[in-house]
Amino acid sequence: MKLGFFGFVAQQRAPLAPAHKADLNGKTVLVTGANNGIGYEAAKHFARMQPLRLILACRSKEKGEAAVEKLKKETNYPGTVELWILDLADFSSVKSFAEKFEADGGRLDILVANAAIDPNKKLEYTKDGWESATASVQVNNLSTSLLSLLLLPRMLDTAEKYNAVPRLVIVSSLVHYFAKFKKSLVNSKNPWRKYGHKEEFKGPLSKDRYNETKLLNLFFTRALNDRLAGKPIIVTSVNPGYCYSSLRRRLTGLQAIIDSLMEKALARTSEEGSRQLVYASVGGGYRADQLRGAYINLSKVEEPSDYILSKAGHEAQEKFWDTLVEELIKVDPKVKKIVDDSLTAPMMDSMMSSDMGSKKGSKKSKKMSSKMDSMKDSKMEKESKMDSMKDSKMDSMKESKMDSMKESKMDSMTPKMESSTMNSNMNTAMAA
Ligand SMILES: NC(=O)c1ccc[n+]([C@@H]2O[C@H](COP(=O)([O-])OP(=O)(O)OC[C@H]3O[C@@H](n4cnc5c(N)ncnc54)[C@H](OP(=O)(O)O)[C@@H]3O)[C@@H](O)[C@H]2O)c1
């Protein structure tokens, strides 16, 4: 689907369902970037569901400790809120974090990969060599994916030992609707390096960069889901909506003014945004399988951007996946074993890549591949629409009468497809 400015406004004004609840007794929940904003509010909701362990992964010890204290006071959580230090702008921190988790040997039921930054305009690089304005590709994508893959064995182990279905929630955004990649980037040898490594990327930083990192979050979710081949892990990406938080703290000048006006008119609270993370983590009930690989918005499955569903988008997704794995193996060779042991090449994609890999591919095979693409696209679209219908039916069964009324009002306000794309200035100002 497409999303324009009025669609965005309608989404922001749509009534929200209350936060979903579940019994997290005995379970372990991990939230990255949990010291403030949407991540902190999600952690508070989880605390009220009383998991056995609640882990806040934060880059700053000081801020993390303050968040732990605040959370305990605000929720009366009887368990121990654990603070684990994680700096996504530093691969060695991600590796140590995952090693500690592995050594700890505990279960992992819910991983909410929430931490992200909205880049500023100054081009810098992390010590690992990635664009760091400050560190958007490394924080929002490479490290988020690295952490998810390194913790995948713990989640699979949890599924097996406890007969559970762990959830991996990648926090994306509606701004993915405003992003796409140039073919020249996708067709380059390694788009990640060209996009953000100091050896190949010298700038300038495009104003759509944050939106692109959020599109890459969806690519990762979808590519990983395709390779999980029905394994008992549900991976989703989620849009919390445009919220008050410190995300846009680096905006300056006119952009900061526009953003502040837009916040006053349209922003939700971080708590409201966090409900989407909670839904992705515990919602869906007996139809939770419908959430696999899905993009979640307003507590239901929603169709992602047309670009993602297009052939070009799918090719970009696959190229970014393949080269992501290559890059992450360089960072930590364990990634290779995890990918080899736990993931399976998706059938559709292997057909497609064999076609794309051979320039001399027969007309027949090319035709077949594009037929498969359009079948896949239309199947995805149909499934997504069915999911929304099923979900709203499910929600209306589950929630109180009042909530049902709110839901149906929300449905009637759901943004329609729009042809206009958002003015890029507004787009950056609402970058979220
Ligand atoms: N706010 C919105 O309007 C909006 C809309 C759509 C999607 N989102 C998404 O929602 C998620 C949460 O954002 P938010 O609005 O709550 O922003 P926020 O208040 O700025 O919180 C971001 C969190 O990420 C952490 N973080 C940043 N860089 C990190 C790093 N290198 N290593 C580890 N943690 C790091 C921050 O830690 P520090 O406090 O130490 O910086 C903070 O805890 C993000 O994925 C964002 O893209 C937000």
Over residues 19-33, the mean pLDDT reads 97
Structure tokens belonging to residue 350 = 């292997």
- Note whether residue 29 is domain-resident: yes
Judge whether 3 lies within some domain: no
The answer to the question of residue 418 being in a domain is no
Q: What is the pLDDT of residues 174-226, one digit of tens each?
A: 999 999 999 999 999 999 999 999 999 988 888 888 999 999 999 999 999 99
Q: In the structure, what pLDDT confidence band is assigned to residue 131 with cuts at 50, 70 and 90? A: confident
Residue 360 has pLDDT above 60, yes or no: no
Ligand 1 atom with minimal separation from the 217 CA: 45
Whether 300 sits among the annotated catalytic residues: the reply is: no
The pLDDT assigned to 123 comes to 84
Q: Is residue 36 part of a domain?
A: yes
Q: How many domains does the chain have?
A: 1
Q: Say if 321 falls within a structural domain.
A: yes
CB 86 less than 6 A from any atom of ligand 1: yes
Say if 122 falls within a structural domain: yes
Parallel/antiparallel/unpaired status of strands 110-113 and 167-171 = parallel
Residue 35 CB partners (closer than 8 Å, separation 6+): 56, 58, 60, 63, 64, 66, 67
In a domain, 368, yes or no: no
Q: Is the CB of 33 under 6 A from ligand 1?
A: yes
3-state helix, strand, coil in the chain (%, to 5): 55, 10, 35
**How far, in Å, CA of 88 to CA of 136, rounded?**
10
* 430 CA distance to ligand 1 middle (Å): 14
* pLDDT category of residue 135 using cuts at 50, 70 and 90: low
370 noted as active-site residue: no
- Tell whether ligand 1 has an atom less than 6 A from the beta carbon of residue 432: yes
Query: Is the pLDDT confidence value at 143 over 80?
Result: yes
Ligand 1 contacts CB of residue 212 (under 6 A): no
Residue 251 within any structural domain of the chain: no
Residue pair 343/220 in contact (Cβ under 8 Å)? The answer is no
Q: What is the CATH number of the domain that holds 126?
A: 3.40.50.720
Catalytic residue among 177, 210, 279, 295: 210
Ramachandran category for residue 26: left, alpha or beta (phi over 0 → left; psi -120 to 50 → alpha): left
Domain that residue 182 falls in: 12-246+265-344
End-to-end CA distance of the chain: 19
Which residues are paired to 131 by β-bridges?
A: 125
